[in-house]
Amino acid sequence: MDKKFETNAIRTQLERTKNLEHSVPLYLTSSFVFEDAEDMRASFAEEKDRNIYSRYSNPNSSEFIEKVCHMEGAEAGFAFASGMSAVFSTFAALLDSGDHIVSSRSVFGSTHSLFTKFFPKWNIEHSYFKVDEIERIEKLIRPETKILYAETPTNPGVDVLDIQALGDIAKKHNLIFIVDNCFASPYLQQPIQFGADLVIHSGTKLMDGQGRVLAGITVGSHELIDKVYRFSRITGPALSPFNAWVLSKSLETLAVRVDRHCENALKLAEYLEGHENVNWVKYPFLKSHPKYEVAKKQMKAGGCVVAFEVKGGLASGQKFFNAIKLLSLSANLGDTRSIVTHPASTTHSKLTVEERAETGITDGMVRVSVGLEHIDDIISDVGQALG
């Protein structure tokens, strides 16, 4: 019987041991034992599908992967120690020296650094398109282009890219289309349905949802994941069993948490839209969002992140930031605790004004990851800081 998202999130779990535990235990073990020489030979020859060593696989990681595969409609996956190790290992497993990447400019800061500072060492080049110029993508594709890469919604500008449109371009040019789906979580958006070949998540954000562990995961077809697995079992970026155990439990409540995140975020966005000290607000499910229709088509709700611009530029942005009392000044997102960031003076302060503009960041822009506190208290804190 085909079960629903919430049911799979809860009921996909490892078989009980003879102790008949109800909640899956933690398998804190680096290696696994064999019956005899033949068992060990066959296991190493991969004639048997079983655990050998936790750098390759571990029961807790397998449970986490299986849950995410159900959620994303994927065949297979590999779990990583962080979102960035998932991003790096996925690219490194699939690319050869001389290959080329076409990517949205609005990618996570460390992904941008990977493209610009490290990949050139291995003769891997990239070309960027801006989120509002999808029609330029085909002009950027070269014979050696292998991967099309995007995030949506984007960080921190909360722009939305049309996944189906990108998927069609990737298919036409025989590119591997990879989507970083971290901002939406698999509950709100399943990119494979719109043509993505691989989906990457930072499990650190909405998946854990409580700001405790770092994690990452890549899911997709057996064929592509096998390449990612071959590379990763040698290079060793595997997720720890403890963090995998935490995440498997977190996913059981993903749907209810994300529903409330989105409800609170929409309410805050609507409040900000009417505020006299705010120039603009961006949230995928606000009708004023330039890609509202695309967001409605591919997302179940708008996500937990709201971006807006305080009137008065850099100084007002910082002043707002300093006046915040309840919300946390931090860089994480997707936590139960609401978090505010002022990208121009913090995460993106090393970029020039023009470089910031390319990723949709202005001096007075503030990003709020709306948490699960009561919405009245969230609005009250943001309101007093804006005053």
Ligand X SMILES: *Cc1c(COP(=O)(O)O)cnc(C)c1O
Which window, 119-127, 137-145, 180-188, 276-284, contacts ligand X (CB under 6 A)? Answer: 180-188
Angle at 110 between CA 268 and CA 365, to 5 degrees: 30
Residue 284 is a binding residue for ligand X (CB under 6 A): no
Which window, 58-66, 179-187, 267-275, 349-357, contacts ligand X (CB under 6 A)? Answer: 179-187
Residue 155 burial (CB count, 10 A)? 26
Residue 204 is a binding residue for ligand X (CB under 6 A): yes
Residue with Cβ nearer ligand X (61 or 316): 61
Residue with Cβ nearer ligand X (316 or 360): 360
CA distances from 82 to 16, 186, 235, 262 (A): 28, 17, 14, 24
Write the DSSP string, 31-75: B---SSHHHHHHHHTTSS----BTTT--HHHHHHHHHHHHHHT-S
Q: Binding residue for ligand X (CB under 6 A) from 126, 205, 342, 356?
A: 205
CB of 151 to ligand X, least distance (A): 5
Q: In angstroms, how far is CA 176 from the centroid of its own chain?
A: 18
CB of 31 to ligand X, least distance (A): 26
Which window, 67-75, 201-209, 221-229, 356-364, contacts ligand X (CB under 6 A)? Answer: 201-209
The residue behind tokens 């040019």 is: 173
Residue 216 is a binding residue for ligand X (CB under 6 A): yes
Which residues in 150-169 contact ligand X (CB under 6 A)? 151, 155
Q: Which of 333, 196, 250, 299 is nearest to 67 (CA)?
A: 250
CB of 326 to ligand X, least distance (A): 23
- Residues 337 and 381: their CA atoms lie apart, in Å, by 13
Write the DSSP string, 237-296: -BPPHHHHHHHHHHHHTHHHHHHHHHHHHHHHHHHHHT-TTEEEEE-TTSTTSTTHHHHH
Residue 82 is a binding residue for ligand X (CB under 6 A): yes
Residue with Cβ nearer ligand X (204 or 264): 204
- Residues 132 and 100: their CA atoms lie apart, in Å, by 21
Angle at 313 between CA 342 and CA 293, to 5 degrees: 70
In the Cβ-directed half-sphere of 62, how many Cα atoms lie within 13 Å? 16
Residue 237 is a binding residue for ligand X (CB under 6 A): no
Residue 108 is a binding residue for ligand X (CB under 6 A): yes
Q: Cβ contacts of residue 381 below 8 Å, gap of 6+?
A: 324, 325, 326, 327
Residues present in the chain in total:
387
Residue with Cβ nearer ligand X (25 or 236): 236
Eight-state DSSP code of residue 307: E
Peptide bond before residue 153 is cis, with ω within 30 degrees of 0: yes
Residue 83 is a binding residue for ligand X (CB under 6 A): yes
Residue 214 is a binding residue for ligand X (CB under 6 A): yes
CB of 137 to ligand X, least distance (A): 20
Residue 182 is a binding residue for ligand X (CB under 6 A): yes
Residue 180 is a binding residue for ligand X (CB under 6 A): yes
Residue with Cβ nearer ligand X (201 or 300): 201
Residue with Cβ nearer ligand X (180 or 309): 180
Residue with Cβ nearer ligand X (265 or 386): 265
- Residues 85 and 80: their CA atoms lie apart, in Å, by 6
CB of 243 to ligand X, least distance (A): 11
Which residue lies nearest ligand X, judged by its C-beta?
A: 83
Residue 189 is a binding residue for ligand X (CB under 6 A): no
CB of 336 to ligand X, least distance (A): 17
Residue 202 is a binding residue for ligand X (CB under 6 A): yes
Which window, 175-183, 187-195, 247-255, 357-365, contacts ligand X (CB under 6 A)? Answer: 175-183
Residue with Cβ nearer ligand X (83 or 302): 83
Residue ranges in contact with ligand X by CB under 6 A: 82-84, 108, 151, 155, 180, 182-183, 202, 204-205, 214, 216
